[in-house]
């Protein structure tokens, strides 16, 4: 029997507040709303001078591991932008540290894992996440964000999907081709599924713990799965993603987001998710047909549009809203995170356009 994480120190589950009837939560349930809710991936980031000021004092991981500061950054961002939900300030990869990965956020390089998994035998070095205690700072961040946020707005927790986490474990960082990842997947399918099972169980427990700490919704990011063809997604990924999301989905809405390959959308919906997040590589209306109109959808403005002029930002935002056709169940977002060089006024223009 695989070990389950030990109980963590958790506050009582947040009772339903005004957030339950918020635009965001109603859209997750595909209920009619007065206007489309909007939030942004990477909404607290380097494009904001307030965020850069904080980062001038502390490193990225120190910020992530200081719950009061992480919550402060997100709460200030929500106030500045006027978005309809607050995603916790954290990262996809800290979950890998208690699983045995030597993680560093190197200046100018992004995340680096110094002991990557390259061979089948290396999978044994990836520990089961038998305890969540070392991740308590994430749950404390959820609590602090929930406590500081108006109760009309929901808090979104998140985790990386098993494939994306596996890719980081194997490559040792980001990659353009993901050749080490695919090599292990094709050469050693048994070891691959062992690794993905470990990651899926960890993600499942991690998401549920965030809900226990006071999140109302969780999002699963499969940032790199677009490198796969549909057949490989079904064979090597789908069952693990389904396991990762199932327990949280029984409790709260789950947003399942992937980028890079619109051909995967029907399979993403099959794997699970109350809401399916899509990127800009497919029209929103076409994506919704592929997913099925029995699901809510999130997206899908190209974040690079925000580097243009404000008239372009407004028109392209209205184009996405038009593609949704007024159908219940649309949450406006970008097709990926805000680019660091984005002018703040363009982000504010987008939000104003959505709000009408």
What is the rounded distance in angstroms from the CA atom of residue 91 to the CA atom of residue 66? 13
Structural tokens at position 183: 């090599």
What is the rounded distance in angstroms from the CA atom of residue 217 to the CA atom of residue 253? 5
Helix (H, G, I), strand (E, B) or coil at 47: coil
What is the chain's length?
356
| Single pTM value for the model | 0.94
Domain 18-355 adopts which CATH fold? TIM Barrel (3.20.20)
Report percent pLDDT > 70 for the chain: 95
What is the rounded distance in angstroms from the CA atom of residue 354 to the CA atom of residue 351? 5
16 band by pLDDT with thresholds 50, 70 and 90:
low
What is the rounded distance in angstroms from the CA atom of residue 162 to the CA atom of residue 181? 12
Listed by start position, the domains of the chain span 18-355
Catalytic (active-site) positions: 42, 46, 55, 91, 168
Residue 331's DSSP bridge partners are 298
Residue range 27-68, pLDDT digits in tens: 999 999 999 999 999 999 999 998 999 999 999 999 999 999
| pLDDT exceeds 70 at position 235 | yes
CB 264 within 8 A of CB 231: no
Task: Give the residue-averaged pLDDT of 106-133.
Answer: 92
| pLDDT exceeds 90 at position 263 | yes
Report percent pLDDT > 90 for the chain: 93
Task: Give the residue-averaged pLDDT of 214-243.
Answer: 98
Q: Which residues contact 3 (CB under 8 A, 6 or more apart)?
A: 128, 130
């Amino acid at each position: 029997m695989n070990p389950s994480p030990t109980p963590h120190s958790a506050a009582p589950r947040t009772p339903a507040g005004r957030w339950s009837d918020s635009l965001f939560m109603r859209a997750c349930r595909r209920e009619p709303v007065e206007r489309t809710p909007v939030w942004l991936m990477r909404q607290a980031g380097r494009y904001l001078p307030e965020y850069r000021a904080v980062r001038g004092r502390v490193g990225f991981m120190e910020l992530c591991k200081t719950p009061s500061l992480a919550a402060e950054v997100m709460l200030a961002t929500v106030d500045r932008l006027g978005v309809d939900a607050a995603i916790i300030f954290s990262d996809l990869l800290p979950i890998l540290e208690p699983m045995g990965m030597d993680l560093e956020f190197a200046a100018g390089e992004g995340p680096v894992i110094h002991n990557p998994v390259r061979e089948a035998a290396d999978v044994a070095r990836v520990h089961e996440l038998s305890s969540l205690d070392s991740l308590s700072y994430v749950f404390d961040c959820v609590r602090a964000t929930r406590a500081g946020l108006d109760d009309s707005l929901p808090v979104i927790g998140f985790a990386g999907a098993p494939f994306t986490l596996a890719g980081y474990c194997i490559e040792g960082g980001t990659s353009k081709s993901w050749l080490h990842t695919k090599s292990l997947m094709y050469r050693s399918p048994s070891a691959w599924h062992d690794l993905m099972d470990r990651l899926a169980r960890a993600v499942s427990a991690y998401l549920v713990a965030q809900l226990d700490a006071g999140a109302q919704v969780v999002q699963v990011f499969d940032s790199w799965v677009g490198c796969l063809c549909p057949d490989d997604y079904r064979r090597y990924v789908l069952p693990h993603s389904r396991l990762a999301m199932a327990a949280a989905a029984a409790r709260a809405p789950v947003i399942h987001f992937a980028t890079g390959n619109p051909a995967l959308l029907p399979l993403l919906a099959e794997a699970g998710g109350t809401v399916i997040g899509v990127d800009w590589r497919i029209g929103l209306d076409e994506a919704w047909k592929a997913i099925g109109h029995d699901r809510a959808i999130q997206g899908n403005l190209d974040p690079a549009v925000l580097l243009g002029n404000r008239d372009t930002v407004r028109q392209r935002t209205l184009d996405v809203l038009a593609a949704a056709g007024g159908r219940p169940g649309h949450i406006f977002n970008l097709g990926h995170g805000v680019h660091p060089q984005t002018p703040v006024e363009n982000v504010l223009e987008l939000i104003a356009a959505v709000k009408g």
